[in-house]
Amino acid sequence: MSTPPTQASAADASPFDGGARWPLTLLAGSALVWLVVGSLLALLTGIQLHTPSFLADCSALTHGRAQAWRETAFLYGWAGNAGVGLGLWILGRLGGHPLRALNWAVVGTVFWNLGLLFGLIGIATGSMTGFAGLQLPRAVQPVLVAAFCAMALPGVLAWAGRKREGTYAAQWYAAAALFLLPWFWTATQAVLLWSPLRGVVQTVAASWHAQSVVALWLMPLALAAAYYVIPKQTGKLLPGYDSAPLAFWTLIVVGSWTFGRHLIGGPVPAWIPTMAVVAQCLLLFHFLVIWLNFRGAFAGGSVTLQYMRFGLVAYLLTGLAETITSFRGIAVHTQFTLFGPALEALLLQGALSMFLFGGLVHQLPRVTGRHWALPSFVSGHASLVMLGVVVSVLSLGWAGLAQDALLNHSQTPFAEILVQLKMPLLLHSAGQFALLAGNVLLLVAFLRSALSCCQAEGASVLRPASSAS
Amino acid sequence: MKNRPLFLFGLFLAVLTSWAGFVLGSHGQLGSLTPFFDEADGQSHPARLPGLAARGQAVYADLGCAACHTQQVRRPGFGSDQARGWGERQSVARDYIFHAQPQLGASRLGPDLMNLAGRKPQAPSAEELHRLLYTGSAAHPAFPFLYETREIAGEASRQAVRLTGAAAPKAGSEVVATERAQTLVAYLLNVNSGFEYPEARPLPAQSPASPEAKK
């Protein structure tokens, strides 16, 4: 942690970013606000696991609704905003032209975040849809798709109108994510909200969507950030880059097939969990290539690379663990226990968020042309969130294993199971507290940086000569 | 990735294939399931949920009970589903055809509720369910906002939740279930998957009783 996170020199800001400064800062700022909201709710739902009466009197914060808030704020608020901001920036820079149609992105961002706000109010007052991963009330979902199209437009234009013939992996992942979401989200809405399919086919469609939101939208954006940032930070070419296209197509083609691992033994066609096993095994190739490409991140001490390293390890571990638990023999032990949330935390808080943090910490100084204010807050954030993820994933995993014995192999009453899980669940809350504290630090550091950037800009208008520092 | 339209088209095709394969594929397989007519008792199974219970399912969904409860019993050999008395058979797609929104759930912090009303020897009573939801327990969140505490005007309501100890209301008032709580409990008292469909037997029946019974 010897190198400050702000070694980005202002000179590294490219002229392309000029017009993109405010749109991208707006996206990053909204992302961080939702991140803190999501962390607060993660702490709340964590506490409710060991103390079910906590804030239970409040209908808006009853456990089921708080879970839906947490998930929505995290996926669509934090990861969505941060990922789109990074994706646009990368496509602009690698495309070789300044981003066009940025007004659309700003309007889209405003509507996206207003839509989320109304969506969360809707969840709190009882109009959540009840599909995990897609809890936003049905009235706001079409608004969000339209807003997303506007946000993504500059990125798709930059991809289509790029100057160079050759392209980079970062571009494929970013372009794919921006291009694909509106299609499949619209399809899902059609079959779940507007003309609902019958019975468990709904569950199939909803699980497919929940998987695709991560595998085809958010994770590609995070991987784009890592593909772009790691070589910039290490100053070296990525090893094993020749295999990158195949790894990309593996994720795109079979990434969405894996949702069936949650439905093993359930009342759905038996081929769905089987396809999940096949897809998980094929995806091992994707994970292998990501490891080969990103391992350079282990050399170098910047905070950005620390995030990337952590994200890489978490991503690979999730890939392995999800493959193993998709086999029936293992799933009978892990299914319906807290082992599932443990893996989800490893993927979302460990891999996805860390890649996005790395991307944001790298991006912001280059977009604003100013160093991070409060660099110690940024490195404090890195330590706290890494600690928080390790503690909460391990404690949930511990709880999951304990639950297997108590739930599946005995008839221990549920009240008794809860007593036995108290220790790991308390630890999990401690981990979530560390995450919340870390994320507040990052938000403060961001606000200070954005503010000093504003002030400096105001000053430079008055005294153009002295603004060069 | 040189060819620009081809790249986007490839992406689109990959996702379309997956979506159509899984979503439309399962729709083709399960979308036309019909109730099973049982000659022996002269009834169709599953039965439609009565109106009150059907509204209760929406309450169950919007409170997110599925965060802690599943509604899917797995077949023997999977965990202790049968040993715990959650159902004598595995749940099958036909069980859900009249569920406006199936709540399969993915977490079992609490027991499975697929066959709550068919529990042996005895299903919980409405009274017990209201008490659980109103007061909660050391392991269960309370949902007091589904109930109303009001002054007893004249005669005490027969609907009032009977409470003792710390949870009991002040003398002269009573706790009554709101409409939402009533529909929720009506729903819980109707989730029942007692009937044995041919496809739910561990081994395929000799003569498939209906074309969809293959599984």
**Per-domain residue ranges of chain B:** 44-197
Would you call B178 an interface residue with chain A, using a CB distance cutoff of 8 Å? no
The verdict on a CB contact (< 8 Å) between B143 and A62 is yes
A55 Cβ partners below 8 Å, 6+ apart?
A44, A48, A61, A66
* Residue B105 falls in which region: left (phi positive, over 0), alpha (psi -120 to 50) or beta: left
Percent of chain A's residues with pLDDT above 70: 93
pLDDT, residue A286, reads 97
Query: Looking at the partner chain, which of A172, A269, A275 has a beta carbon nearest the beta carbon of B1?
Result: A172
Q: What is the mean pLDDT of residues A63-88?
A: 96
**Under an 8 A CB cutoff, do B15 and A338 touch?**
no
Cβ of B96 under 8 Å from any chain A Cβ? Answer: yes
Which of B167-189 are b and which e, b meaning 16 or more Cβ less than 10 Å from the residue's Cβ? eebeeeebbbbeebbbbbbbbbb
Superfamily for domain range B44-197: Cytochrome c-like domain (1.10.760.10)
Asked if residues A131 and A172 have their Cβ atoms less than 8 Å apart, the reply is no
CA count, 13 A, side-chain hemisphere, A280: 24
State yes or no: pLDDT of A7 exceeds 60. no
DSSP-derived letter for residue A259 is G
- Between strands B147-151 and B43-45, the pairing is unpaired
Q: Which residue has the tokens 């970062």?
A: A170
Residue A73 included in any domain: yes
Looking at residues A235-264, what average pLDDT do you find?
A: 94
Q: Quick check: A431 pLDDT over 60? A: yes
Question: Is A142 part of any domain?
Answer: yes
Which range marks the domain in which residue A90 is found? 18-166
Considering only the beta carbons, identify the residue of B19, B23, B106 that sits closest to A262.
B106
CB contact under 8 A, A57 and B26: no
CATH number of the domain that A36 lies in? 1.20.120
Residue A449 has pLDDT above 60, yes or no: yes
Of B14, B62, B78, the CB nearest to A252: B14
Is a pLDDT exceeding 60 seen at residue B112?
yes
pLDDT at B162: 87
Q: How far is CA A82 from CA A170, A307, A311, A462, B84, in A?
A: 15, 15, 15, 33, 45
Q: Quote the pLDDT of residue B154.
A: 81
Nearest-angstrom CA–CA distance, A10 and A469: 9
Sequence-distant (≥ 6) Cβ neighbours of residue B65 within 8 angstroms: A64, B103, B113
Best mutation target among B109, B112, B135, B149 (most A Cβ atoms within 10 Å) is: B109
Q: Is the pLDDT of residue A79 over 70?
A: yes
Q: Which residues contact A7 (CB under 8 A, 6 or more apart)?
A: A302
CA angle B184, B187, B190 (to 5 degrees): 155
Give the helix/strand (H/E) hosting A440: helix A414-462
Helix (H, G, I), strand (E, B) or coil at A237: coil
Chain B hits for A172, Cβ within 8 Å = 1, 7
**Residues in chain B, how many?**
215
Chain-chain contact of B22 with A208 (C-beta, under 8 angstroms): yes
- Of B2, B18, B68, which to mutate for an interface test with A (greatest number of A Cβ within 10 Å)? B18
CA closest to A268 among chain B residues: B93
Mean pLDDT of chain B: 86
- Please report, for residues A230, A359, A360, the alpha-carbon distance to residue A367 in angstroms, rounded to integers and kept in the order given: 17, 12, 10
pLDDT of residue A345: 97
pLDDT of residue A16: 57
Q: What is the pLDDT of residue A369?
A: 83
- The total number of residues written for chain A in this structure: 469
Q: What are phi and psi of A222, to 5 degrees?
A: -65, -40
Token representation of residue A354: 């860390």
If one compares A283 and A370, the residue with the highest pLDDT of the two is A283
| A-B contacts (CB, under 8 Å) | 215
Peptide bond into A239 cis (omega under 30): no
Q: Is the backbone peptide bond immediately before B46 cis, with ω within 30 degrees of 0?
A: yes
pLDDT for A108: 97
The answer to whether A404 and A418 are in contact (CB under 8 A) is no
Q: Looking at the domain assignment, is residue A188 inside a domain? A: no
Tokens representing residue B55 in the block = 């509204």
Q: CA A264 → CA A258, A347, B143, distances in Å?
A: 11, 20, 32
Please give the pLDDT value at position B89. Answer: 87
Q: Average per-residue pLDDT in chain A?
A: 91
In this structure, what DSSP letter does residue A386 have?
H
- Chain A contacts in chain B segment 148-177 (CB below 8 A): none
Is A354 among the domain residues? Answer: no
The total number of structural domains in chain A stands at 1
Tell me which chain A residues have a C-beta less than 8 angstroms from the C-beta of B107.
336-338, 340-341
For the stretch A166-219, pLDDT in tens is 889 999 999 999 999 999 999 999 999 999 999 999 999 999 999 999 999 999
- The enclosing H or E element of A331 equals helix A328-334
* The two structure tokens encoding residue A279: 């897809």
SS3 A430: helix
Q: In this predicted model, what pLDDT tens digit does every residue of B119-164 receive, in sequence order?
A: 888 889 999 999 999 999 889 999 999 999 888 888 888 778 888 8
- The alpha carbon of A18 is separated from its chain's Cα centroid by a whole number of angstroms, namely 27
Coil/strand/helix, residue B176 = strand
ipTM of the complex: 0.90
Distance from CA of B33 to the nearest CA of A (A): 9
pLDDT value at residue A456 = 67
Interface test with chain A among B2, B7, B13, B15, by most A beta carbons within 10 Å:
B15
The pLDDT value given to residue A348:
97
Interface of B with A in 6-35 (CB under 8 A): 7-8, 10-12, 14-19, 22-23, 25-27, 29-31, 33
Tell me the Ramachandran region of residue A374: left when phi exceeds 0, alpha when psi lies from -120 to 50, beta otherwise. left
Q: Closest partner residue to B23 among A205, A252, A337, by Cβ?
A: A205
Span A48-66, average pLDDT: 93
Disruptive mutation site among B6, B17, B30, B97 for chain A (greatest number of A CBs within 10 Å): B30
Higher model confidence: residue B196 or residue A310? A310
Residue A115 and residue B51 in contact, taking contact as beta carbons nearer than 8 Å: no
To the nearest 10 degrees (0 to 180), the angle between helices A353-368 and A414-462 is 10
CB spacing of A341 vs B139 below 8 angstroms: no
Picking from A84-88, A215-219, B163-167, which range would have the lowest pLDDT averaged per residue? B163-167
Say yes or no to pLDDT of A446 above 60.
Answer: yes
pLDDT band at residue A347 under the 50/70/90 scheme: very high
Residue A455 pLDDT > 80: no
Lowest mean pLDDT among A31-45, A269-283, A438-452, B32-46: B32-46
User: Of the ranges A39-43, A277-281, B154-158, which one carries the lowest mean pLDDT score?
Assistant: B154-158
Per the structure block, which two tokens stand in for B4? Answer: 């620009």
Residue A58 lies in a domain: yes
Task: Tokens for A63, please give them.
Answer: 């456990």
Whether A273 maps to a domain, the answer reads no
Task: Test A265 with B78 for CB contact under 8 angstroms.
Answer: yes
d(Cα A137, Cα B60) in Å, to the nearest integer? Answer: 15
Interface test with A, best of B2, B6, B36, B62 (most A CBs within 10 A): B62
Cβ within 8 Å of A, B 182-211? none
